[in-house]
Structure formats: C-alpha cells, structure tokens
Amino acid sequence: MTALITLDDYERAARDVIAPPAWEYLNGGAADEHTLRRNRDAFAGVQLAPRVLNDVSRIETGVRLLGHDLAHPILLAPVAAHSLAHAEGEVETARGARTANAGLVLSSYTSRTVEDVAAAGVTPLWFQLYMQERNATEELVTRVVDRGCTAICVTVDTPTAGPRDRQTRSGFDFPPGLPYRTVQPGDNPCTWADIAWIRRAVKVPVILKGILHPDDAELAIVNGAAAIVVSNHGGRNLDTAPATIAALPRVVDQVAGRIPVLVDGGIRRGTDVLKALALGASAVLIGRPYIYGLAVAGAAGVTAVVDILRTELTQAMALCGVSSVGGLTRATIWREDHA
C-alpha cells in the first residue's frame, strides 16, 4: 500500500472502501460543482509572503476559542452519518479527535447518540442544529447540552437543499436509524427570529454556520451569535457562490474582532490553514478529509489526518518566519503592491 502522507492520499485510499452511493454523497457538490472546485482552487491562488531570519525554533499553534484552550486551530466540521465510513461512526471519530486534540462538531444527522459520542471524551464537543418545530428543537438542544455539548452550531444556509446531481444519480439514501434526523433541510427554514429564540432557549454559545455576506455577519452579531463560520456548505448548496477563503476577509473586516470568525471549505494543506488564519480566521474546520481518514483507518485515520495538517501548519509557519498563531496577519499574505 502506498504511504499515506497527504490528505489527498487518504482521499484516494478512501474511495476503495466507501460504497459508491455514499462516496457520491460525501464528495458531490451542487449542480455543476463550480463552488466545490473553487473552494480548493482559491486557496492555491493565495500567495504567501515569507520572512526570514526570525526565531522560529519554537512554534506555538495553540488558540483560545469560546472558553476552550485548544492545542491547535483545527476542528472537525459536522458531517452526517459517519457510519457510511465506519461501523462505529461518530464514536470512532470522537476517539480519533480526542487523540488529535481536535474539537468535534456533531451533526444532527449523526448515526450515534450524543451520549455515546460524549463518552469518548472529545473536547470541545459542539452540536450542529437544523431548525425544527420549536418544542422539538428546545427538547433536542436541552438534551445535547445536558450531555456535554458546550455550544450549539446552527446551520443557517440551507432553507432548501441544493441540486446535488451526483448524489441523486447514485440513488443514495441515508442509513436507517439516525437518532435525531426528524426533519429534512427546508422543512423548517430558519429565520433571524429563530436565532433570537434559540439564544434565549439555551445557556451555551450559539454559533451560526453558513455566513458568506458581511451584512449577515453584522446581523449575526446583532442577534447574539457567539461566533460565525464562513461556509458555503462544502459547495453542496448554491453553486457559483464564492469560495470561502475569498469571502473570509470581507466578513472579518465587518466583524472587526467582536466575535470569533471560523472558516471551512477546501482545506487540504497546512498552508491553507495558515492562509485562513492570516486572513483573520480564529480557527478552521475540516469535513471530508477526516471522513477519508475514518474510512481508511478508523480513529487512527482521523488522528493522522489532523496530525498531517498540524505538522504542515507548523512547517508553513516556520517557513513564513512566524512563531505563533497570533503572529499570523495579512502581512503574511503576498500582495503585488508589496513590490
């Protein structure tokens, strides 16, 4: 077997072990998949401006986020039905995340209960929410918070699912028995009034995932969001929406440090993590890559994927002459007017 040394290596290996319909679900995007491709291509288009002869003998990747001291700024984004990749599903993912010191956002389409996942000891553990009827929503968020979830991450970019043609052609359907899958995206479209209600209903931070427009970032702050995630749903909803790394600077400028801004979408290299942090993200989330690791090697594969990114981030920081995450600024990004 070829050595697995990059996230793309894990993707190629995972294709051999994930059933074809599940593969199309996990990897497909919306419509013609322009946004899916842009998420990765846009990172490649961002150039770095390395500085030399700084003391980088010690590299610090730790960050503080919503009351948690994290060893590094890489978290695991919510992905539905991990049982598509491994029999133990999210429990196995949580074991790998714990070893990698990576926080996990548990999808509301999880294949394992929050109690089982929390028992694996991953920290922090957040819960991703699709809005349901309000009584059902309140019951669910109360349950997950009582079981150890320290934030609720509301998906706000899915009033309806996008045209996921690859998924439809494959005949994919979710496995039976997902414990919290009581609604489909679009059954209860979320509004700003719902966000204000959720804020009153829970006693933990509420994060809004799916912000691309700076005006929505401002409204998120007005409505009490503790953090936002710049996301286009992995290119799976609105095709021709911008790449997340392209949208990130405008959102960061609007937020102006008032709340943390996270970003997901297309991250495959430590340099991608560095670029996101330099452009103002407090942390990043990865989705598909850790599922590849889960499919190939279970918990150890999840850990390996995170460790690859963290090692590459450390290398990139040293090569850019920056010794701590806090030292990453837009000066680390090359601009043609530097010359």
CB atoms < 10 A from the CB of 34, how many? 16
Q: What's the chain's length in residues? A: 339
**Chain-centroid distance, C-alpha 239:** 19
In angstroms, what CA-CA distances link 44 with 48, 251, 283?
10, 20, 19
Sign for the CA dihedral angle at 54, 55, 58, 62 comes to negative
Helices (H), 182-269: 192-201, 214-222, 244-255
- Measured between alpha carbons, how far is 85 from 191 in angstroms, rounded to an integer? 33
Q: Which helix (H) or strand (E) holds 44?
A: helix 34-45
The kind and range of the H/E element at 282 are none
Contact 193, 147 (CB under 8 A): no
Phi/psi at 231 (5° precision):
-155, 145
Annotated catalytic residue 72:
no
**Residue 208 pairs with which residues in a beta bridge?**
154, 228
Q: Which amino acid would we find at residue 211?
A: I
246: Cα separation from own chain's centroid = 16
Rounded Cα distance between 101 and 72, Å, is 8
Among 72, 82, 86, 233, the one annotated catalytic? 233
Report which of 227, 294, 283, 297 is spatially closest to residue 255, judged by C-alpha positions. Answer: 227
AA identity, residue 297: A
Strands 125-129 and 261-264: unpaired
Active site residues: 233
